[in-house]
Each structure stands twice: as C-alpha cells, then as structure tokens.
Amino acid sequence: MKLVTIVGARPQFIKAAVLSRLFRSPEYREQFEEILVHTGQHYDDNMSEVFFLEMGIPDPDVNLNIGSASHGRMTGEMLIRLEEVLVDRKPDLVLVYGDTNSTLAGALAASKLNIPVAHVEAGLRSFWKAMPEEQNRIVADHLSEWLFCPSDTARRNLEREGITNGVHVVGDIMLDASLHYRKIVEGDLAQGRTRVPRLFGPGAESEPPKDFCLLTIHRAENTDDPARLRSLVTGLAGAARPIVFPVHPRTRKKLAEYGISLPPQTRPIEPVGYLEMLELELRSSVIVTDSGGVQKEAYFLRKPCVTLREQTEWTETVESGWNRLVGADAEAIATALSTASAPASYPACYGEGRSGEKILELLSGQALHRR
C-alpha cells in the first residue's frame, strides 16, 4: 500500500513520528510505502526542522513551503499544491492527523480525487463552531473512510453525527510518542544530562527554577484580541511560582504590538523542540496552556493543567479533575494557579500506548486484501 502522509504543524510531526517509525520497521516495511508531505504550515526552524531532527522523522519527500497566511489563502494554496502531489504520486491512501489547515486541505484534495482518507485523531469535538480547528476536524471526519479515535468519547461524537462505518477506537497516538520519548529524556536526566540550560542564558540563571509553572500561548483567539491577551497576562501575574514561557512567534509579535509586559516572575524563552518541551513538562509543577496537545501531555505526565480556553476537545482531562478550563478570566486564572494540585485518581482514558501498532494492524489487513 502506498500512502501519502500529510503534516504541517508541530503536533502532527509528533504523531507522524510514531507511524513513520513503524512504517519503516522490519514488521511493516514490506507492506507499506510512505510518502511524507510537509505543507510548510509551521516553517520556522524552531517550530519545524528541529522536530524532524530530534524525533528521527524522515526528511519530507515533498515540502510545499507554503508558510503563514489567512486561513482561506493558506488552505486554498495547500489544496492546489496537494492535488498536484496526489495526481503525481497516485497513492492508495492519504493519511491526515488532527485538526489543522493541513488536515483539512489533505482530506479535501484526496476526496476530490476519490482517494481514501484515514484520519488519525478522529471524533474530537469542542462544540465551538467558531474555532477553525473544530471546522477542520468535522470536515475531515465526514470525508474519511478510516477514522482512528483516541477515546470512546470521540467514537460517540462520531456516532451522534451519523458516522459509524470505518470507526476504530485505537487510543491516543500522542501517548505512544510521549512514552517513547519520555524514556529518552528521563534516561538522560538520570545520567545528569539536560537539554534546557541553553534556553535560559548564562550564569546562575541557566537552569529553570525548581518549582515553576510552564506556560504556552499560541491560539489566535488569545493572541489577536488585545483585551483578552491583556486579561491572560493579568491573571498570570497572580502566580506564586515563577513562570517559564517558551514564546510562540505570533505571541511575541502581538505582545510587542499591544505594548503588553509580562509579569515580573516570567522567564520568556525561545520556542523549544519536543524533547526540550518534554523535559520542561517533567520538571514543572503546573502546566498552563491553550494548546490541545500540551493539555494531553500534561495528563500523560500527571501534571495539573490550567487551560486558557472556554472549551476543550479533550473533555476527559477535565472530567477527571486534572485539567481546569479558565478562559481569559484573570481572577479564574489566578485562583486556578494558586489551587492547582494533582487529583487522587488517574483514569487511563487514552489507551495503553499502542495506538500506532493498532492502526497499522488495521491498515495492514486492508493492504493484504488489496493485493
């Protein structure tokens, strides 16, 4: 079976690393040929290339280098360019991940050419239609022939929309990645090797604090509204712990544009690679984020999470008490940061870390059938 895998953003690189490694393993390499296509949605070296290097992801066979633009322009350009790739490569299947513009464009381009689509991380819903990612994931799900769900909640979401064929609950592929790369980071730390001091500058400040909040902010609804971004920063100022903040390029630009100063206990650093982020997560006490992927990583690592959104597609993390939704309410943010603690129980909502193998077992049956 010849597959075209379409990625474009950091979370997709992490997910693709799991399946790309399996596609090339002795067990499966006779059955699959993967063609990796990078749309270029994340194009900054710190946001893209470092992930391919440190996670051992093969170099993309095709890099479209599309870069940043409005949603419509970006998706339209991706659709045009991806159609050309698919016509040229003639795959049996197109594999898309998550909920980005790259996901939407890949699913649309494939379906227009009558190429089956497999969607990894199918069935997620925040139930907020104004969120671009929600629109992308709904369309991708309704165009897909294979729908690989991370949880029973995701399966039920699809069932409510009338999607029952081709649905498989396989667990969360990011748990596979977290378990695999966590062993590497923890092994290095046990040997006294660390990846993060270079992020903090020279001298005594070259290490992160012993007890800190790890912060990420990148979503347009938080960064593009000056009043909302200012309210987030006001709430963060109530944190008793130091805040380590890898700053997304968009967020850095908007903070400067709006003249918003970070709280004095904040230590802003450049964007980090996946292994550096894992180490920061492991060393942190609380994680504060508006990222869906980071919410899950906090859950996998059993770290209390405060989410700077009113909704989340990862509802299980909230229901279990490990994640608290606070939106942009400054008082709610400050309260959540001062009271964040680990719950007594930890339900395993997202499988056991074998979702990649389950996906390939299912696809392998289809590959053998096609032969």
Asked if residue 366 has pLDDT above 90, the reply is no
pLDDT attached to residue 18: 94
Averaged over 251-268, what is the pLDDT? 96
Asked whether the predicted pLDDT for residue 47 surpasses 60, the reply is no
> Quick check: 114 and 139 in contact, CB under 8 A?
no
Count of residues making up the chain: 371
pLDDT at position 44 is 52
Q: Is residue 15 part of a domain?
A: yes
Phi, psi of 81 (to 5 degrees): -70, -40
326 lies in the same domain as 199: yes
- Percent of the chain beyond pLDDT 70? 94
H helical segments located in the chain: 10-23, 49-54, 71-89, 101-112, 132-143, 152-160, 173-190, 220-223, 226-236, 249-258, 274-283, 292-300, 315-319, 330-339, 355-370
For every residue of 31-43, DSSP letters joined together read T-EEEEEE--SS-
In a domain, 346, yes or no: no
Poorest-confidence range of 55-59, 98-102, 209-213, 262-266? 55-59
Nearest to 274 by CA among 41, 34, 55: 55
> How many CA atoms does the CB half-sphere of 71 hold within 13 Å?
12
163 and 198 housed in the same domain: no
201: pLDDT strictly greater than 80: no
Q: Say which residue the tokens 């040229």 belong to.
A: 88
Band (163; pLDDT cuts 50, 70, 90): very high
pLDDT average, residue stretch 168-197: 93
pLDDT one-digit tens code per residue, 104-149: 999 999 999 999 999 999 999 999 998 899 999 999 999 999 999 9
In this prediction, residues 202-214 reach a mean pLDDT of 75
Look up residue 127 and give its amino acid. Answer: F
DSSP character at residue 7: E
pLDDT at residue number 42:
55
Residue 369 above 70 pLDDT? no
Tokens of 196: 């993060």
Do 26 and 133 lie in one domain? The reply is yes
Task: Quote the pLDDT of residue 71.
Answer: 82
Catalytic residue IDs:
218
Rounded mean pLDDT of the chain?
Answer: 92
- Summarize the chain as % helix, strand, coil (round to 5): 45, 15, 40
Residue 186 counted as domain residue: yes
Are 35 and 78 part of one and the same domain? yes
| Whole-structure pTM value | 0.90
Query: Are 88 and 201 part of one and the same domain?
Result: no
198 in the same domain as 55:
no
Instruction: Read off the pLDDT band of 49 (50, 70, 90).
Output: low
**Pair (183, 165) in one structural domain:** no
* Residue 86 lies in domain: 2-172+353-370
Question: Looking at the structure, do residues 117 and 25 belong to the same domain, yes or no?
Answer: yes
* Better-predicted residue by pLDDT, 55 or 38: 38
Residue 333, in any domain of the structure: yes
Q: Which residue has the higher pLDDT, 93 or 367?
A: 93
* CB distance 148 to 359 below 8 Å: yes
Long-range contacts of 134-137 (CB under 8 A, 24+ apart): 134/99, 134/313, 135/104, 136/99, 136/100, 136/101, 136/103, 136/104, 137/98, 137/99, 137/103, 137/313
- Flag whether pLDDT at 370 surpasses 50: no
User: Hey, what are 232's tokens?
Assistant: 């987030």
